[in-house]
A and B are shown apart, each in its own frame.
Chain A
């Protein structure tokens, strides 16, 4: 809305200043040209690393050191090598992909469960000291994950969870839940309390309120946060690399890190793995993009 009117406003700005001495059609051409040039710059900037990933992934292993803009002999054999685990670094590819999926789904489930209950208790049931809980959650959200990695590693070792997928799952859930609670609370404030009252008059218990009123109405926020948690866990490198040690337990990002342990890493295979690993989250993100944008910016405009 604002954009449209801003654009309209711009078109009819009264002439003043040096720029306005330029004749109108010339100015339009210059303006369109400027927008187009900027567009091309943005396009190249955005695409280049991803284009590079795709290009290297279809370059034969023996040509990987050519540094060409387009491979001389494009091939799909790297994908075959990855999918059939035909390389030393890819022995456990499918298992590692499964590990990534497990951690992502388990994190999503835990985050949605814990955060929806907590936000329901705080914002709908008005639980005592709810604001204390939500402020400590916000505090947790503001601690950089990388900064607690060292003690977290030791604590996981004390809990006997080291080198299990649950260690990574709990780590990811811990860091995703505070944000989830925050977004859920923001979203919950937009749902009228009259709905709760009506359900209470009909004799709904708090649990029925949660299950039959709160959860269905929170669907958009649940989709946004579910995706957020899923992607956070799927993408995590540092915690995965600290908490999971051997190849059978590694997730894909850790496995990709293993490639760098040799001086002549098979970059074509690494990039083919990277493409396969990047496609599902990118597809997911784009399919729920509408929810993501509104979810992520829920509090932003108010802050």
Chain B
């Protein structure tokens, strides 16, 4: 009996020559229960429910007919295209800057991670008041120091979206700089020695030593950052609230607007679902990139 059961188990298991069942494997299964419970209650069920809510093709038709939605798609594209790439490009440059061993730059690097260490809500609200065109500090300083009438930061839709992108970059730049610094530190020093002996210039060292070594990391960071930026609700919602005239929404804030301000749950879910054509390939690539190396 036992032998038979074991044989069946071995046949069913995907791996060949599967090890026999041991008490340790029982414990392994038991210790996974808390996570699996959390996963089903709070991931599978809400996501499944969301897909079910977004099943009505009619909501998508209404969505495409809504000018606010179309504007939101453009905003999201700009937020991602500019926000992600500018942020990572700056992080690439700053990671080189902060690799410098000058003592004052080391001190500066400690200060530099403040935006990442401080909660985002207070700082976004601080930006919001600072950028107020009539009473904010920025325009106040522009007037006091240069006698310039500052622009309507959060009133002009283009500037408002630009401000939100700036706030986003401000918050996440330190994180990506740290990641790229870690990537740079992992490059063996011999490579630079060899390049130096060959008489490589600084640009050549970057092009032939640094970049090939961190290119993979840079691409992974770009993909990961795209997903996270897609989910950045706070930078828009607390800075502009989607305004003026609902012209600065991104998909994440528009979904919440439909569902909770307009009480149209299925429209809200449909809004979010329209991000799936970007999200699913990104997730697929990232799982291969991040998951593969764990084994």
Contacts and interface: CB of A to CB of B under 8 A. Distances in A.
Interface of A: 1-7, 9-10, 12-14, 16-17, 35, 38-39, 42-43, 45-50, 52-53, 55-56, 64-69, 113-115, 117-118, 120-122, 125-128, 130-131, 133-140, 142-155, 159, 170-171, 173-174, 177, 181-182, 185-186, 189, 206-207, 210, 231, 234-235, 237-238, 242, 253, 256-257, 260, 267, 270-271, 274-275, 277-278, 281-282, 285-286, 289, 293, 296-297, 299-303
Interface string B278-289: 010011001101
Interface of B: 13, 23-25, 27-32, 34-36, 38-39, 41-43, 45-47, 49-50, 53, 94, 97, 99-102, 104-105, 108, 110-123, 125-127, 129-130, 132, 134-141, 144, 170, 175, 178-179, 182-189, 192-193, 195-196, 199-202, 205, 216-217, 220-221, 224, 227-228, 230-234, 237-238, 241, 252, 255-256, 259-260, 265, 268-269, 272, 275, 279, 282-283, 286-287, 289-291, 293-295
B85 to A, nearest CB: 18
Contacts of B252: 144, 146-147
B31 A125 contact: yes
A155 B114 CA distance: 36
B286 A49 contact: no
Contact of B294 (A7, A16, A17, A186): A186
Contact of B108 (A39, A65, A171, A182): A39
Given A3-B99, A147-B255, A174-B43, A274 B183 contact: no
A302 B252 CA distance: 31
Q: Which 3 pairs, one residue from A and one from B, show the smallest C-beta to C-beta distance?
A: A144-B231, A67-B140, A127-B28
Given A144-B252, A148-B46, A270 B283 contact: no
B188 A150 contact: no
B186 A301 contact: yes
Contacts of B231: 144-147
B24 A206 contact: yes
Given A274-B122, A282-B114, A303-B293, A297 B178 contact: yes
B195 to A, nearest CB: 7
B139 to A, nearest CB: 7
Contact of B35 (A115, A274, A282): A115
Nearest to B205: A9
Contacts of B36: 133
A143 B192 contact: no
A13 B202 CA distance: 8
A174 B40 CA distance: 10
Contact of A253 (B29, B111, B121): B121
Nearest to B258: A150
A4 B101 contact: yes
Contact of A117 (B35, B138, B294): B35
A16 B157 CA distance: 48
Q: Which of B119, B138, B282 has the most CB of A within 10 A?
A: B119
Contact of B201 (A16, A47, A189): A16
8 contacts: A16-B199, A42-B108, A43-B108, A113-B34, A174-B42, A257-B238, A300-B179, A300-B220
A150 B170 contact: no
A43 B221 CA distance: 25
Which of A113, A115, A125 has most chain B Cβ within 10 Å?
A: A125
A53 B127 CA distance: 9
B182 A122 contact: no
B130 A296 contact: no
